[in-house]
Structure 1
Amino acid sequence: MPEQTDPPSYHPVSSGEIELETYEKGSRFAIHFKHLTSAIAGDDYNVGVALEELPAGKQSNQFHFHMLEEEHIFVLEGSCTLRLGDKRIPMHAGDYVMFPAGRTVGHCLINETDAVCRYLVIGEQNPNEVSVYPDSNKVQVRWLDERYDRRMQLDYWDGEVTD
């Protein structure tokens, strides 16, 4: 019988010691973030926590929903607008929202103020995740590291020799 070992233990880390990274795309999308879990565990985790800063006038990421991952957001400082399906919901410091896996309602944050909005993102890291992007009609399959245009849907038997 193989010897059982305890999972690794990780020591606390100060968020002030973690370098702030930036993701930007064009003039519309930008976030500054510290991936707290990665700073401790690298890629060896199931649930991750990131501290994000959404600059004034920017959107956090593409409008999307998750098929296999649950996501949570807790606003620490400032304000932003949650785009949730066809609704726009103001969020302020102390507000919390969660996005259950498999719900086909898109979400993203937009900072329509003139100040930074800081929040925590807590979510799973499922290697088999499938994300859907309704605005651009894409599907992303993480395991394959590929994205597809949903307009190109095929019948189940397309391409198969059936006779």
Structure 2
Amino acid sequence: MSDKISAVNADGISEPFATETAPLEAFSQGERFGSSFRHLSSFGGGDHVGVALEELAPGKESNPSHYHMLEEEHVYILEGALTLRLGARAYVMKAGDYVCFPAGQKVGHSLFNHTDAACRYLIIGERNPNDVIVYPESGRVSVRLTGEGYSTSATMDYWEGIDSSSAGAQARAAPAQE
């Protein structure tokens, strides 16, 4: 691995690079979740499309089940096998298999390595700064634009909290007292 922080040269031109040149990152959360990955698109100078080379260890799940309202994702299996959890269904995927998660497809997805060997895959997606991500298992809704998460149990009726009486309209229209 090199110490380069990007495949962009001094003239601002994105040059070809070996995937192992991109920094290897990893995360884990408890015993259930964890993976290692290389953000190829970021390293290569891209910012509209996200491409990562990920490796999922045996017995690990990639992330909590989720779906995107505005962002599309794709997964292409390079080596090994894993189980795609798509809503209430499960699909075994192996090298050469591909799946697309269209934006607004309201079915949670996650990847689980059910085997005793690591699984490597490419994950490709948009980088929509306005995306809304829904996590069916926890009821969390993430609003990327604000960087905040909300609970779906904390929903509000459209008119909740609004004084729709004529007194409410008059109070809002009254000039401020100085």
Given the two structures, how large is their TM-score scaled by the length of structure 1? 0.92
Residue 104 of structure 2 is aligned to residue 102 of structure 1:
yes
Structure with higher RCO (Cα < 8 A, 6+ apart): 1
The one-letter code of the counterpart of 2:43 is A
Q: Give 2:35's match in structure 1, choosing from 26, 31, 34.
A: 31
Deviations 1:116-135 (A, max 9, x none): 00000000000000000000
| Corresponding residue SS for 1:22 | strand
Task: Give the superposed CA RMSD.
Answer: 1.0
Distance between the aligned counterparts of 1:128 and 1:65, measured in 2? 14
Which one has a bigger Cα radius of gyration?
2
Distance between the aligned counterparts of 1:102 and 1:127, measured in 2? 15
Residue 52 of structure 2 is aligned to residue 53 of structure 1:
no
Q: CA deviation at 1:160?
A: 1.4
Partner of 1:3: none
Matched-pair identity in %: 52
Partner of 2:82: 80
The one-letter code of the counterpart of 1:18 is A
Q: CA deviation at 1:157?
A: 1.1
The one-letter code of the counterpart of 1:150 is T
Structure 2 residues not aligned, in runs of 5+: 1-11, 166-178
Deviations 1:56-113 (A, max 9, x none): 0000001000000000000000000000111010000000000000110110000011
Partner of 1:126: 128
Q: CA deviation at 1:9?
A: 4.0
Q: Give 1:16's match in structure 2, choosing from 20, 28, 48.
A: 20
Distance between the aligned counterparts of 2:69 and 2:94, measured in 1? 27
Aligned structure 1 segments of 4 or more residues deviating by more than 3 angstroms: none
Given the two structures, how large is their TM-score scaled by the length of structure 2? 0.84
